[in-house]
Structure 1
């Protein structure tokens, strides 16, 4: 079974598309954990409507705690052998999870020999406007590890791009045995950043399937600017969290540290641009 966690806070305009896209997954045993993180709009009602129509959808309603705490609850509650995350303003193309697991079974015999299966994703730029375009992400075609499965030392550039933790799936036992959790901070807070480093650096067997399925609604410049003004230190706090993880795991490989250092300058540029 694969469990998809949908951590939701006030996503009413997009949530039906997100959950609806999951219901197109026909070839695997699927659990959809729709977790309402104290929404004040109609998100909970949308979740409950899907759950009433499809037994694969399970709704959890709780007070607002933020993205990290909500994902952690999903990991604890999950019944699946594998964990995926779908952010409620995104969607997937049909066959994403069944194709990933079929690839793992075909290539490695048993998907449970792996810790993580990675894919590229689609960037949806100018979403929900006449100017909407669908673009390949920056690392599509650039992840060419010398072997499969591999570790982050074989493909450290996975750490150099957008922390697209939602275009991968994670073996639940791998997360639990290595005590890997999201940082619990208010709001979204870029909790995906440290989770990216923790998972990739702890994994002993990563596989890469080069077909994109996940459709990521890119943030508008206005939203990015508002975030920068509201909490200008937040990106640097997450960068420090990532450094803490590398140091705790005794990572000394310069090839792994280089994208982390580069990311710090990228964050600085973002903040300078928007503040």
Structure 2
């Protein structure tokens, strides 16, 4: 049944503490892997040395070192080197369940779809939990899914929860944006909208670590620079969604952005400076003006209230509402 080969790309930057466990989890895949490519992105700790040491333990491990260029560039370097029919990406502080690639590859083997996306779970040293969108998007298998017929698929925007047919990915999308954060957001949207056949599988295919030191990119939310990076990606993503011409799809995307993505920035307003608050207000005004009315009105009450308080510039009211149940 394993007629399609799979390459796995692991970009790595200053992850000496996590890399070995990450690679070990990938190598435990029940689906035979053609190669695992570690791209050391100019690490300044022992990551590069550890990667070279790991390479001698498995014949399918490859390691390449490059000057620091960012996650998008490291993923693209791995994509250039990959030779499998399909390719997957793994962040080097996370883990992959043993059956993950079997679930994804079995699906594309059956359907011929160029892409497949699976469910994820989060974990730290104390607990494991699922992001709320998993129950909405991955409750059941949806082979050959079309984003226009199943808009909730846009909630899963992570590169590492997917397998991509390499030739289609390169031809249709080209690669990941470089020099920016949150580079997989646009790629996932383009993927969903340029094909009418993405397999949605219910299996947990990825374990996403929450670092308890708060050092990961996705946890650094009270930084103005992080907020501006995220907003720039959101503007480009909203352009992609708007160009698709589907009101229903737009409603889902804006509900995700206004109700979920911005929520993580709302939460840290009391810890951030005034510049952060001003940037957040500007962003909320911009996106509410673009969003279908149903996207705002469909939010849970607290988050809708926060949107309106932000629009009004009521900082004290915003913080008070944030602290309420």
Task: Tell me the residue number matched to 2:254.
Answer: 261
Task: Tell me the residue number matched to 1:194.
Answer: 186
- Contact 2:76–2:176 at 8 Å: present in 1 too? yes
Distance in 2 of aligned mates of 1:26 and 1:196: 26
Computing the radius of gyration from Cα coordinates, the structure with the larger value is 2
Task: Tell me the residue number matched to 1:31.
Answer: 35
Out of 201, 206, 229, the position equivalent to 1:234 is 229
- Contact 1:37–1:63 at 8 Å: present in 2 too? yes
Q: Which runs of 4+ in 1 moved over 6 A?
A: none
More helix by share: 2
C-alpha deviation, 1:59, in angstroms = 0.5
- Higher RCO, Cα 8 Å, sep 6+: 1
Out of 233, 245, 254, the position equivalent to 1:252 is 245
Task: Tell me the residue number matched to 1:21.
Answer: 25
Q: Does 1:91 align with 2:95?
A: yes
Q: Does 1:210 align with 2:209?
A: no
Task: Tell me the residue number matched to 1:102.
Answer: 106
TM-score by length of 1: 0.86
DSSP 3-state at the match of 2:18: helix
Distance in 2 of aligned mates of 1:136 and 1:222: 19
Number of residue pairs aligned between Structure 1 and Structure 2: 260
DSSP 3-state at the match of 1:25: coil
Structure 2: any 5+ residue segments left out of the alignment? 273-325
1:210/1:147 CA distance change after superposition, 3 Å: closer
Distance in 2 of aligned mates of 1:146 and 1:40: 42
Distance in 2 of aligned mates of 1:140 and 1:272: 22
Encode CA deviations 1:188-229: one digit per residue, 9 max, x unaligned. x11121122111111231112211131111355945674432
Encode CA deviations 1:13-32: one digit per residue, 9 max, x unaligned. 11000001111124423211
1:112-191 alignment runs, 5 A limit: 113-124=112-123, 127-128=124-125, 132-143=126-137, 148-161=143-156, 163-186=157-180, 189-191=181-183
Q: C-alpha root-mean-square deviation of aligned residues, in Å?
A: 2.2
TM-score by length of 2: 0.74
Distance in 1 of aligned mates of 2:206 and 2:135: 16
